[in-house]
């Protein structure tokens, strides 16, 4: 972790700038009881309108822009205590100026400044799906920490991240924002990201509040179309979609965001089942829930509310505490309370939850503590942040193919760097960037040129665009390829082909990029393909014929450097896919948690009256957990300390892993389980644990997993989380389709 600046430094700086507000008498953080007391005191003083005010959140683009009616209205609302939070106001100067307006209000309650800090603030880290491919929880936590450190130095209190939605449909553009398809991996990453953003405790100026979003099941939008309906069994909901949210809550995530989708007919924003029964009830969650952008008012077009007032009434009753940009609470809630249609106790509870966070952040003691010009400058220019971004990017790269050990490159005399993404910079940042100077992003071409040195010539040709049908650049690209020892071809999606509202029905590599590959392949030169995209793509020709394939996702500020590190073997790739890559679009949705069915395909090709397709296998192109290395690993000596477990007992599972190659490398050892017979049919494999280890050539390490009773459990038909006696299959491997060791285990009655 990077060191934080000392508190005395901030105070001194604030005093120097005259920024310390006259209200700042306390310097010691309040304890929980004192905070609740202060809130009770405030609630007693607040008018109904001021209470509703705390629930309103507006986007600040207009407030910091040129004069307009909207700007005047917003400033008036802020000055009269009608606004609790702003989003999209950033930078010390602007946040200071707007906070000063809030402090002109009667009760001087500070604003919360929020922003989508999704994968970096100024320094861009790989997109979250890419980081998930690292399976490296420490690196993921560090990435969130650096993002928080920069944002916090720039006046931000709160990020709308992490997105912990399980994403199993690559058509959905927002898979780029999550941790992939798997619940166990997703829950571990959710926890790492929350701790990274928030630190151990709120209140430090190198941390910001996190937000687990989108509650819930947004990732299951029908047909991968954004904002669509979600219909799913309770079992799926509890087993697959809720655990990452629970993990975030357990890690102390300060806020939740609800979602645009319906869940079994009810918009999540209006779902008291999700927000009151589960989150604030069963999970006893003390934070607050913000709506998604306009999602309260969207209950009207959904046909779930008559008008804004009806929507506001339903959202508050359902436990939505803060209204992002619907203006529904602001315009209707006070009247709803006066007329008895909304419950003032529920309003007070929402206000209390929001104020609690403002106290925990220390904003009542010092509303400007996140707005210090000197700190902003210093932190945003910290060179260590680029180091962390490079580390994260290297770890996120997945080696999908490496025929004839084409990689790492053996000091070629010349490299032809070809493709529409070879010199791209902006694309490498992916969707959701905040303050990044995209001219400062290292392209693949820059990274390779810098690394290659004097003895290797780099030649470039674009070949084609990402989209479109022009082949005009093919001939020059082929000529360039012919003059080189090896071709590095960079293809994929542009940055804005994934992200919010970027669902696609066709996830094959766009345009004529695969044709360009074929033209280059015809030269007979070895072709290394670097794919960059915000989702799993389909690229069968490349997968079949390329000499090597790297999946770089969108790797961020240091993407080109990290790719060069991997291409030259300065770093041995260890990334593993967090999502299944299908062979064709008809297989979607496809994930590794398949069921045996009553008619399994037991022999390849033997598909008559079997659960199969007649035109493609059931298997994916690349399986969940797949990722090669420049070395090889041998799995051996599996031991379980007991073959039979009494209820409540744990087992120790032990194995050895040896690096059998010539270079050091990292391996993610994956533990899968199958409950062979149960009261509900169980998947063929479920990831239950993993460990990322690094091994020198020839080195052997013993890996131990503890199989706790919890890992054998699932939601039964009564929706109880329970393990059932019987036999379990235990599988240890390097990918979900590369199981190296197996054993059985019995849970006794
Ligand atoms: C997205 C959220 C985001 C919010 C604020 C919405 O459209 O769904 O994920 O946090 O906008 O920008």
**Same domain, yes or no, for 356 and 398?**
no
**Same domain, yes or no, for 542 and 649?**
no
Give SS3 for 244: helix
Identify any residues that bridge with 398 across adjacent strands, giving them in sequence order. Answer: 551
Residue nearest to atom 2 of ligand 1 (CA): 292
- With 70 as the cut, is the pLDDT of residue 1 above it? no
Give SS3 for 327: coil
Range 697-701 average pLDDT:
98
Let me know: does 370 contact 205? Beta carbons within 8 Å: yes
Domain membership of residue 593 (yes or no) is no
Read off the CATH number of the domain in which 577 is found: 3.40.50.1700
**Same domain, yes or no, for 577 and 639?**
no
213 Cβ inside 6 Å of ligand 1: yes
Domain membership of residue 17 (yes or no) is yes
Interatomic CA distance for residues 266 and 293, integer angstroms: 17
Domain membership of residue 249 (yes or no) is yes
Interatomic CA distance for residues 18 and 645, integer angstroms: 66
Mutate to test the pocket of ligand 1, among 293, 294, 498 (most ligand atoms within 8 A of CB): 293
- With 80 as the cut, is the pLDDT of residue 14 above it? no
**Same domain, yes or no, for 297 and 441?**
no
Atom of ligand 1 nearest to the CA of 211: 10
Residue nearest to atom 4 of ligand 1 (CA): 293
Range 72-94 average pLDDT:
96
Read off the CATH number of the domain in which 221 is found: 3.20.20.300
Q: What is the overall mean pLDDT for the chain?
A: 95
Range 466-473 average pLDDT:
98
User: How far, in Å, from the CA of 116 to the mean position of ligand 1?
Assistant: 7
293 Cβ inside 6 Å of ligand 1: yes
Integer CA distances (angstroms), 310 to 271, 298, 321, 344, 643, in order:
14, 11, 16, 16, 58
- With 90 as the cut, is the pLDDT of residue 625 above it? yes
User: How far, in Å, from the CA of 260 to the mean position of ligand 1?
Assistant: 10
690 Cβ inside 6 Å of ligand 1: no
Q: pLDDT per residue over 400-410, tens digit each? A: 999 999 999 98
User: How far, in Å, from the CA of 687 to the mean position of ligand 1?
Assistant: 30
Q: pLDDT per residue over 604-613, tens digit each? A: 889 999 999 9
Q: Which residues are catalytic?
A: 292
Residue 199 contacts by C-beta under 8 Å, 6 or more apart in sequence? 145, 148, 206, 207
Position 604 scores a pLDDT of 87
Read off the CATH number of the domain in which 708 is found: 2.60.40.10
Integer CA distances (angstroms), 379 to 204, 372, 514, in order:
14, 11, 43
User: How far, in Å, from the CA of 670 to the mean position of ligand 1?
Assistant: 33
Residue nearest to atom 12 of ligand 1 (CA): 116
**Lookup: tokens for 78:** 């802020």
Domain membership of residue 622 (yes or no) is no
Residue 632 contacts by C-beta under 8 Å, 6 or more apart in sequence? 659, 660, 661
218 Cβ inside 6 Å of ligand 1: no
360 Cβ inside 6 Å of ligand 1: no
Domain membership of residue 602 (yes or no) is no
Edge-to-edge order in the sheet of strand 633-640? 633-640, 651-659, 700-707
Let me know: does 660 contact 633? Beta carbons within 8 Å: yes
User: How far, in Å, from the CA of 214 to the mean position of ligand 1?
Assistant: 9
Domain membership of residue 206 (yes or no) is yes
Domain membership of residue 91 (yes or no) is yes
**Same domain, yes or no, for 671 and 529?**
no
355-358 CB contacts, 8 Å cutoff, 24+ apart:
355/39, 355/42, 355/54, 355/109, 356/35, 356/36, 356/39, 356/286, 356/288, 357/112, 357/202, 357/209, 357/254, 357/255, 357/287, 357/288, 358/109, 358/110, 358/112
**Same domain, yes or no, for 494 and 438?**
yes
**Same domain, yes or no, for 335 and 415?**
no
**Same domain, yes or no, for 399 and 348?**
no
Interatomic CA distance for residues 596 and 600, integer angstroms: 6
Domain membership of residue 476 (yes or no) is yes
Range 86-115 average pLDDT:
97
Mutate to test the pocket of ligand 1, among 60, 163, 292 (most ligand atoms within 8 A of CB): 292
- Lowest model confidence (mean pLDDT) among 17-31, 103-117, 417-431, 708-722: 17-31
Q: Write down which residue in 377, 399, 419 finishes a domain.
A: 377
Interatomic CA distance for residues 630 and 565, integer angstroms: 13
At residue 27 the predicted structure's pLDDT band, cuts being 50, 70 and 90, is low
**Same domain, yes or no, for 316 and 342?**
yes
Position 6 scores a pLDDT of 38
Residue 27 contacts by C-beta under 8 Å, 6 or more apart in sequence? 11, 365
List the domain range (segments joined by +) for residue 118.
Answer: 4-377
Residue nearest to atom 10 of ligand 1 (CA): 160
Q: pLDDT per residue over 237-262, tens digit each? A: 999 999 999 999 999 999 999 999 99
Region of 103 please: left (phi>0), alpha (psi -120 to 50) or beta: alpha
Q: What is the DSSP code string of 76-122?
A: HHHHTT--SEEES--SHHHHHHHHHHHTTSTT-PPPEEEE--SS-SS
Q: Write down which residue in 377, 404, 421 finishes a domain.
A: 377
Angle, to 10 degrees, between the axis of helix 92-102 and the axis of helix 373-380?
A: 150
Range 276-304 average pLDDT:
98
Interatomic CA distance for residues 488 and 529, integer angstroms: 6
Q: What is the 3-state secondary structure (H, E, C) of 404-443?
A: HHCCCCCCCCEEEEECCCCCCCHHHHCCCCCCCCHHHCCC
At residue 29 the predicted structure's pLDDT band, cuts being 50, 70 and 90, is confident
364 Cβ inside 6 Å of ligand 1: no
Atom of ligand 1 nearest to the CA of 163: 9
**Same domain, yes or no, for 323 and 436?**
no
Q: Whose CA is closest to 602, among 592, 610, 590, 614?
A: 610
User: How far, in Å, from the CA of 60 to the mean position of ligand 1?
Assistant: 14
Q: Whose CA is closest to 270, among 307, 325, 312?
A: 312
Interatomic CA distance for residues 641 and 22, integer angstroms: 64
Q: pLDDT per residue over 166-190, tens digit each? A: 999 999 999 999 999 999 999 999 9
432 Cβ inside 6 Å of ligand 1: no
Position 3 scores a pLDDT of 39
**Same domain, yes or no, for 145 and 73?**
yes
Local structure of residue 170 (DSSP, 8 states) = T
Number of structural domains the chain divides into: 3
- With 60 as the cut, is the pLDDT of residue 718 above it? yes
288-290 vs 255-258, strand pairing mode: parallel
Q: Write down which residue in 355, 377, 399 finishes a domain.
A: 377
**Same domain, yes or no, for 532 and 675?**
no
Mutate to test the pocket of ligand 1, among 112, 116, 119, 260 (most ligand atoms within 8 A of CB): 116
């Amino acid at each position: 972790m990077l060191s934080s600046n000392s508190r005395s430094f901030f105070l001194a700086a604030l005093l120097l700038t005259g920024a310390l507000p006259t209200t700042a008498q306390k310097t010691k953080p309040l304890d929980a009881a004192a905070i609740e007391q202060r809130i009770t005191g405030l609630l007693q003083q607040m008018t109904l309108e001021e209470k509703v005010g705390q629930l309103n959140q507006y986007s600040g683009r207009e407030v910091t822009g040129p004069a307009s009616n909207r700007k005047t209205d917003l400033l008036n609302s802020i000055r009269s205590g009608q606004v609790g939070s702003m989003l999209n106001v950033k930078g010390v100067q602007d946040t200071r100026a707007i906070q000063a307006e809030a402090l002109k209000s009667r009760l001087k309650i500070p604003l919360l400044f929020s922003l989508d800090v999704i994968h970096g603030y100024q320094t861009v880290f790989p997109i979250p799906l890419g980081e998930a491919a690292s399976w490296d929880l420490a690196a993921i936590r560090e990435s969130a920490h650096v993002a928080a450190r920069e944002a916090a130095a720039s006046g931000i209190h709160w990020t709308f991240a992490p997105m912990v939605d399980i994403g199993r449909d690559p058509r959905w553009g927002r898979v780029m924002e999550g941790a992939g398809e798997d619940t166990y991996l997703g829950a571990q990453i959710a926890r790492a990201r929350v701790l990274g953003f928030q630190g151990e405790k709120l209140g430090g100026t190198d941390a910001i509040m996190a937000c687990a979003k989108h509650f819930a099941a947004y990732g299951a939008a029908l047909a991968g179309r954004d904002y669509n309906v979600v219909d799913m069994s309770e079992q799926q909901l509890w087993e697959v979609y809720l655990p990452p949210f629970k993990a975030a809550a357990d890690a102390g995530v300060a806020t939740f965001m609800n979602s645009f989708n319906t869940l079994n007919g009810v918009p999540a924003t209006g779902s008291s089942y999700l927000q009151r029964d589960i989150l604030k009830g069963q999970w006893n969650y003390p934070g607050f829930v913000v709506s998604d952008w306009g999602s309260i008012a969207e209950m009207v077009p959904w046909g779930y509310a008559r008008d804004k007032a009806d929507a506001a009434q339903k959202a508050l009753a359902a436990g939505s505490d803060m209204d992002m940009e619907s203006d529904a609470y602001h315009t209707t809630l006070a009247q709803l309370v006066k007329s008895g249609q909304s419950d003032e106790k529920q309003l007070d509870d929402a206000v209390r939850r929001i104020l609690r966070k403002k106290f925990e952040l220390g904003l009542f003691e010092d509303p400007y503590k996140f707005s210090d010009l000197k700190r902003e400058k210093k932190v945003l220019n910290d060179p260590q942040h680029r180091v962390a971004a490079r580390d994260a990017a290297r770890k996120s790269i997945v080696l999908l193919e490496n025929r004839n050990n084409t990689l790492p490159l053996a000091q070629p005399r010349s490299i032809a760097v070809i493709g529409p993404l070879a010199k791209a910079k902006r694309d490498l940042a992916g969707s959701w960037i905040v303050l990044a100077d995209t001219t400062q992003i290292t392209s693949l071409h820059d990274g390779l040129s810098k690394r290659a040195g004097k003895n290797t010539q780099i030649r470039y040709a674009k070949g084609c665009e990402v989209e479109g049908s022009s082949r005009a650049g093919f001939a020059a690209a082929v000529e360039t390829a012919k003059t080189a020892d090896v071709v590095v071809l960079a293809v994929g999606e542009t940055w804005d082909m994934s992200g919010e509202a970027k669902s696609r029905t066709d996830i094959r590599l766009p345009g004529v990029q695969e044709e360009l590959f074929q033209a280059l392949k015809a030269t007979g030169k070895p072709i290394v393909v670097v794919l960059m995209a915000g989702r799993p793509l389909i690229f069968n020709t490349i997968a079949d014929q390329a000499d090597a394939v790297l999946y770089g996702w969108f790797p961020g500020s240091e993407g080109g450097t990290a790719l060069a590190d991997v291409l030259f073997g300065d770093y041995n790739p260890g990334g593993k896919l967090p999502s299944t890559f299908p062979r064709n679009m008809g297989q979607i949705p496809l994930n590794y948690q398949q069921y045996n069915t009553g008619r399994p395909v037991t022999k390849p090709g033997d598909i008559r009256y079997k659960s199969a397709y007649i035109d493609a296998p059931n298997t994916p192109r690349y399986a969940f957990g797949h990722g090669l290395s420049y070395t090889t690993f041998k799995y051996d000596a599996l031991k379980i300390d007991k073959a039979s477990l009494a209820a409540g007992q744990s087992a120790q599972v032990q194995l050895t892993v040896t690096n059998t190659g010539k270079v050091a490398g990292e391996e993610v050892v994956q533990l899968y389980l199958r409950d062979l017979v149960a009261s509900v049919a169980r998947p063929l494999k479920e990831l239950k644990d993993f460990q990322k280890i690094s091994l020198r050539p020839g080195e052997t390490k013993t890996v131990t997993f503890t199989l706790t009773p919890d890992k054998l459990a699932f939601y039964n038909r009564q929706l109880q989380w329970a393990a059932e006696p019987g036999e379990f299959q235990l599988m240890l491997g390097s990918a979900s389709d590369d199981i190296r060791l197996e054993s059985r285990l019995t849970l006794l009655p």
